[in-house]
Every structure is written in C-alpha cells, then in structure tokens.
Structure 1
C-alpha cells in the first residue's frame, strides 16, 4: 500500500481529475496543462481522495483540491526529490542549487531522512523555472532525533551558512513544526501544524 506524506508530489492526467469546493480559477487549467502535478497538503479528505495543492506561476496562485487515489499516475516522495537529477535546474548557478549540492552529501553521510519541498522541489521535478535569487531552501525532516535548542541552532546556522535561508520542518506523523520556531520560541510553546489544525505545544518532538 502506498503511503502519501505531506509535501510529496503526485502526478495525474488532467484538470478534470480534480474535485474542489466552489469555482476553479482559470489559471489552474493552464498550470495543470503545463505540469499535471500537485503537492500533498495537510488536511482531511474524503475517502479515496488526497488533499493536494496546485501551484501557478506566482506565489498568489495556490489552489486546494482533492485528487482520487485512483487518478495518481506517479508519486515522488520529498526524500526522492532531494536526490533528483540536476538536468531540470534552469539557472544552475543560483545560490539555492549551489547550497543544495553542498548540503546533500552531509545529509547522506549522516543518514538524515530528509526530503526537499517548496519551489526547489517543484523545479527539479517539472523543469519549470520556479526558484530565484531569494528562494528559501525547504527541507522536510522525517525520523529526526530530538535536538536540544543549542544543537538545533547549530544545525540551522550551518545550513544557513551557504547563503539561502534554510527552512526545516520537523515531521511527527502527519504533524510538523518549524525547527527555527523551536529554536526561538520553545519557551513560549512551538506552533505545530496538524490534520486538526495548528496549536501550540510545549513538547513538539513528542506529539
């Protein structure tokens, strides 16, 4: 049985595969025609459906829909995407790609079960120019051992030393929290995003 995690990418055939509430913006059909791919989003879905997000040509174009599991033609986990080939990188000299090439070997050597998401993941998979000079490097950390705030800060400082801002989401099941938020706000509670909605936790590692 296939397991789908938040931030995985799923492929399908056509915009008619999607179901949604309300009306569908015109740009969605154009985006799907260009790349029939959606990102698994956090949320409840009807039986046999996956909650997915469709991204357009800019940050304001994001559309939530549902995709029948039977309509999935291919599936890539965020861990697989982190190791995706370089051929789909459009501007290979952008800082985000230079940073990823230096970070990936460290993650592999230390057997970090981390994936890649966000604009970098989308461009790697589709070949559509998505990242720019100011893009963040978005990591998804699975099965990450608990870190003390000083160790978490040390890791973030190292990740950010390559230039682009590194955003690390720590996953606990289908819930997740920001490593950066943990470093700076652990005393006041850390925001955890879950299927039931966001909430503050004093102990996000053990949710």
Structure 2
C-alpha cells in the first residue's frame, strides 16, 4: 500500500516523517501532539521552494487543520489515494459502506480513482477520523477531458451511495469538483497551487495561465 517516495508528490498524498521539532514555533499544541503520535500529513496545493512540499496537519476536531511545510528529505513513507481503493476496515461507518458499494463500478469505469479526506486518512493510518455523518471524499485522475455528459453519468452513480460523496477531478493543472462540472454553470472553480479561479474548460492550459 506504500508508493515510491521519489515519484512526483500530488495533492491528497499522505506522508509520514514530519516530527514536532520540524514544526514552526507557533504551531498549536494539537498539531504537535499529532506529529508526536506519528500521524501522517496530507499534501496540499501551495507554492513551495525546492526541496519542500506543502502539507496539512489534521487534528481530532474538524476545525483543527494546520498548514505547514515539510522537507522532501524528511519523508519516510507515502500513501496515495489510489493505494486505498481496496483498503479494508472493520468499521461500519456509512462512508466506508459507500466505498464498498462504489468500488466495483468505479474500477470498471476506466479512470484512475482514489480515496481522500477522512476516509482515506483513517484507512491509511488507522487513526479514527470518520463519524456517522462523514461524507466520502474521492479523487479521479482525469488527464484527458471528461465531457459534461460523462460527469453527469458519474455523478448519478455516486448519488446512489448511502452517504454524500464528494469527488474531485484531478486535472493537469489543478482540481475541479465533479458536481460543479456536471452542473449547468458555464464556468467552474479550478483550484491550483497558485490559487482558485473560474474557468470554462479546466483542461485548457491556455485559459489556466491567462
């Protein structure tokens, strides 16, 4: 379930190796405790200097999220969302039930997909992160354009699950919510390392850099 650390790091990857001593002096106590417990951090989108990666520390509470930097040299282990597609759990949370229901159809769709968010964090680390009302967060690697019709068909599949499912389309220069791309709006919000902006075609590089 562990990916090679020397591959390109991508948003939503989970990384182990950050220690309390590597956090800034003003880091909150809960973040220090999470790192002392050996918990992973999640790769986030943000500009960084060479040799660094932008990461986020998760706390026990929803509002406990701390953005920081990690040196590439500190990475000891990496788990990608794709590595968690078939991870098993003995917990019975609705998000995990939804994952079990959707696994087969998503495998059959031909796209590379993975588990992120609270479900991915718990499956990868064993640290409790889910609860009865948790959504299931998924990512879909879409290097090639997905039509609006394809997006609507995929969304209809996800909406059959036992809990809300939030899927992000990972496009070459960022990410866009599947639900937005499947909607009627002419422009959608593209999230990238340089910020978020409205675009009409998330796969069009010329529009993204304009």
1:185 shift after superposition: 4.6
Equivalent in 42, 47, 50 of residue 44 of structure 1: 47
Per-residue Cα deviation, 1:111-165 (whole angstroms, up to 9, x for no partner): 3201110000011011121111211111111136533333312211211211211
Q: d(CA) in 2 for partners of 1:178 and 1:80?
A: 21
Q: Match of 2:63?
A: 60
Q: Match of 2:3?
A: none
Q: d(CA) in 1 for partners of 2:9 and 2:184?
A: 30
Q: d(CA) in 1 for partners of 2:41 and 2:173?
A: 18
Q: d(CA) in 2 for partners of 1:28 and 1:12?
A: 14
Q: d(CA) in 2 for partners of 1:121 and 1:9?
A: 9
Q: d(CA) in 2 for partners of 1:174 and 1:76?
A: 21
Q: d(CA) in 2 for partners of 1:26 and 1:150?
A: 47
1:32 shift after superposition: 1.3
Alignment CA distance shift 1:66-1:190 (3 Å)? same
Relative to the length of structure 1, the TM-score reads: 0.89
Verify the 8 A CA contact 2:117 2:137 in the aligned structure 1. Answer: yes
Q: Match of 1:182?
A: 181
Relative to the length of structure 2, the TM-score reads: 0.88
Per-residue Cα deviation, 1:53-107 (whole angstroms, up to 9, x for no partner): 00000111000011110000001111112232x24x5xx2221111111211222
Is 2:2 aligned against 1:3? no
SS at match of 2:105: helix
Verify the 8 A CA contact 1:116 1:138 in the aligned structure 2. Answer: yes
Q: d(CA) in 2 for partners of 1:167 and 1:96?
A: 11
Equivalent in 172, 193, 196 of residue 195 of structure 1: 193
Query: Root-mean-square deviation (CA), in Å?
Result: 1.8
Q: What does 1:1-150 align with in structure 2 at a 5 Å threshold?
A: 1-12=6-17, 14-18=19-23, 20=24, 23-84=26-87, 86-87=88-89, 89=90, 92-143=91-142, 145-150=144-149
Q: d(CA) in 1 for partners of 2:131 and 2:139?
A: 20
Alignment CA distance shift 1:174-1:76 (3 Å)? farther
Q: d(CA) in 2 for partners of 1:191 and 1:72?
A: 31
1:110 shift after superposition: 3.1
SS at match of 2:183: helix
Q: d(CA) in 2 for partners of 1:162 and 1:129?
A: 22
Verify the 8 A CA contact 1:112 1:144 in the aligned structure 2. Answer: no
Structure 2 residues without counterparts, runs of 5 or longer: 1-5, 206-210
